Amino acid sequence: MDVTKSFGGRHTGEPGVEAVNHVTLEIRDQEVFGLIGTNGAGKSTLMRMMCGVLRQDTGNILVDHEPVYDNPDAKKRIFFIPDEPYFFANATPSDMAEYYARVYPTFDRTRFTRYRQDFGLDPERRISGFSKGMKKQLAIILAVSSGCHYLLCDETFDGLDPVMRQGVKSVFAEEMAERGLTPVISSHNLRELEDFCDHVGLLHKGGVLLSEDIEAMKLNIQKIQCVFREDGDAEAALEGLTVLNHVARGHLHTITVRGTREEMEQHFREYEMIFFEILPLTLEEVFISETEVVGYDVKKFILG
C-alpha cells in the first residue's frame, strides 16, 4: 500500500531516481494478475519488493497480512522468476531441483520430474548450454514444483515460442485448479496476457495508471459499427452517451462507448439502421480507451 522506492542520490546530495511512485495494488488469491508497462516503468523493482528482495522506502507490502521483507515464513510462499533466471555455475536441472528442495519444504520432486519430461529437458545437461527459452522453462518448472502459493514472473514469456507459451499457460492453469496457485506476471506486451489474466495493472513512470478486472472493463465498454439510414441521426444518437472514440468513414461509423451491451442495444434501437453490430474489444483497445480518457496516449508506451 502506497509503496515508493528510489535509487541513488543518498550519498551524493542529488535527488534519487524514483522507480516506484506511491503504488497501491491488491492481488487476489487464485487469479492471474498481469503487470503491464514498458521497460523502466517500475515493474521489476515492484516485483522485487513484493518478494522481499528489495525493501521499500515507504509504504507496506503484505503477503497474507504479513510484511514480506526480512520474513522467511512469508518468503516460503513466494517464488520469484526474474527476467534472466539465475542458476549455479555448471549446474544441471537435477542440481537445481535438489537445491530448491532444501529451500522450499513443500518442493515436489515427482511434480518436477513430470513437468521436466513434458518439456523435454535433460536432467543431467548443464544449464549453461540451454537456450534462453529452455532456461525460462526450467525456471517455471522449478517454481511450480516448489509448492509456493504466489509465483512472481518478470517477462515470463520472453524467449518462448508460441507452442511453449501455451504449454506454460497450461501448467499455470493446472496448478491454479489443483492447489490454488496465484501467478503475478509482468510484461510489456498486452497481447501476451489478454487471454490469460483476470486482472491487469498498468504501470507508467513508476505509478499505477490503471488497475482493473479485465472482464469488468470489457463488459462496460462497447465497440459499435453501424450505418444510419439518415445521416443526421448519428449526431443525435451520440448525445447523452460517454463516447470514448468515434471514427466515421463514409457512412460507416465506428464508435467506442462506455456502457453495457444491453444499454447500447436499447439506445440504438431508437434509430433506423441499415447496419448495426457490437464487436468484441481487445484488451489493447480497452486500455487505449481507458487511458485516453485520463489524458494519456497508451499507444506511445505500450508495445503490441
Q: Evaluate if residue 111 carries a pLDDT over 60.
A: yes
Structural domain total, the chain: 2
Q: Evaluate if residue 179 carries a pLDDT over 50.
A: yes
Instruction: Clarify whether residues 42 and 181 are in a common domain.
Output: yes
Q: Evaluate if residue 190 carries a pLDDT over 90.
A: no
Q: Where in the sequence is the domain holding 185, given as residue range(s)?
A: 3-212
What is the structure's pLDDT at 37?
A: 79
Residue 171, domain CATH: 3.40.50.300
What is the structure's pLDDT at 229?
A: 94
In 64-173, beta strands by DSSP E: 66-67, 78-81, 150-154
Choose the final residue of a domain: 145, 178, 212: 212
Instruction: Clarify whether residues 179 and 280 are in a common domain.
Output: no
For the chain, the C-alpha Rg in angstroms (whole number) is 23
Choose the final residue of a domain: 189, 212, 235: 212
Instruction: Clarify whether residues 40 and 73 are in a common domain.
Output: yes
Instruction: Clarify whether residues 199 and 101 are in a common domain.
Output: yes
Instruction: Clarify whether residues 276 and 164 are in a common domain.
Output: no
Q: Which range has the worst mean pLDDT, 44-58, 157-171, 202-216, 281-295?
A: 281-295
- Report the predicted TM-score, pTM, of the whole model to 2 decimal places: 0.84
Q: Is the dihedral of CA 254, 258, 262, 264 positive or negative?
A: negative
Choose the final residue of a domain: 183, 212, 241: 212
Instruction: Clarify whether residues 95 and 208 are in a common domain.
Output: yes
Percent helix, strand, coil in the chain (nearest 5)?
35, 25, 40
Percent of the chain at pLDDT exceeding 70: 93
Instruction: Clarify whether residues 192 and 285 are in a common domain.
Output: no
Residue 273, domain CATH: 3.30.70
- For residues 160-183, average pLDDT: 93
Q: Which range has the worst mean pLDDT, 162-171, 257-266, 280-289?
A: 280-289
